[in-house]
Chain A
Amino acid sequence: MDMHRREVLKAGGGATLYTLLAAAGFLKPGDALAQAWNKGAFEAKTLDEVVKALGGAAPAQSKDIAFVQTPDIAENGAVVPIGVSSSVPKTESIAILVEKNPNALAAVFDLPAGTEPTVSTRVKMGQSSNIHALVRADGKFYVATKEVKVTLGGCGG
Chain B
Amino acid sequence: MNRREFLEAIAVATAAGLPVGSVSAQGAAAGASFYDGAMKPFGNVGLLHFTDCHAQLLPIYFREPNVNLGIGAAAGKPPHLVGEHLLKHFGIAPGTRDAHAFTYLDFANAARAFGQVGGFAHLATLVARLKAARPGALLLDGGDTWQGSATALWTKGQDMVDAQKQLGVDVMTGHWEFTYGADRVKEIVEKDFAGRVDFVAQNVKTTDFGDPVFKPYVIRQVNGVPVAIVGQAFPYTPIANPRYFVPEWTFGIQEEEMQKVVDDARAKGAQVVVLLSHNGMDVDLKMASRVTGIDAILGGHTHDGVPQPTLVANRGGKTLVGNAGSNGKFLAVLDLDVKGGKVAGFRYRLLPVFSALLPADPAMSALIAKVRAPYAAKLGETLATTEGLLYRRGSFNGTSDQLILEALMAEKNAEIAFSPGFRWGTTLLPGQAIRMEHLMDQTAVTYPFATVNEFTGEMIKAILEDVADNLFHPDPYYQQGGDMVRVGGLKYTISPNAASGARISRMELAGKPIDAAKRYKVAGWAPVSEEARNTGGEPAWEVVARYLRAQKSIPPRTLNLPVIEGMAGNPGMSV
Chain A positions near chain B (C-beta within 8 angstroms)? 1-2, 5-6, 68-69, 71-76, 128, 147, 149, 151-157
Contact = CB atoms under 8 A, between A and B. Distances in A.
B4 to A, nearest CB: 29
Contacts of B481: 156-157
B240 A156 contact: yes
A120 to B, nearest CB: 11
Contacts of A156: 234, 236, 239-241, 420-421, 470, 480-482
Given A154-B526, A154-B528, A75 B238 contact: yes
11 contacts: A69-B256, A74-B239, A151-B470, A153-B528, A156-B420, A156-B480, A157-B280, A157-B302, A157-B303, A157-B480, A157-B482
B134 to A, nearest CB: 31
B160 to A, nearest CB: 18
Given A155-B240, A155-B485, 8 more contacts: A75-B239, A147-B478, A155-B470, A156-B239, A156-B240, A157-B302, A157-B421, A157-B480
Nearest to B300: A157
Nearest to B473: A149
B213 interface: yes
B469 interface: yes
A153 B256 CA distance: 25
Given A71-B252, A75-B239, A155 B211 contact: no
Given A72-B478, A128-B500, A157-B482, A152 B463 contact: yes
Interface string B289-322: 0000000000001110000000000000000000
B206 interface: yes
Contacts of A75: 238-239, 243, 250-252
A2 B211 CA distance: 7
A75 B244 CA distance: 12
A73 B239 contact: yes
Interface in B230-274: 234, 236, 238-241, 243, 250-253, 256
A73 B480 contact: yes
Give the bracket for the number of chain B residues in contact with chain A. 35 or more
Interface string B489-515: 000000000001000000000000000
Interface string B91-129: 000000000000000000000000000000000000000
A151 B303 CA distance: 23
A5 B208 CA distance: 11
A6 B301 contact: no
Q: Which 10 A-B pairs have the closest CB atoms?
A: A156-B240, A157-B482, A154-B528, A155-B420, A156-B482, A157-B423, A72-B477, A157-B481, A152-B466, A153-B528
Nearest to B249: A75
Contacts of A68: 256
Contacts of A71: 252-253
A40 B490 CA distance: 48
A57 to B, nearest CB: 30
A151 B462 CA distance: 10
Given A72-B253, A75-B239, A76-B243, A6 B209 contact: yes
A6 B208 CA distance: 9
B467 interface: yes
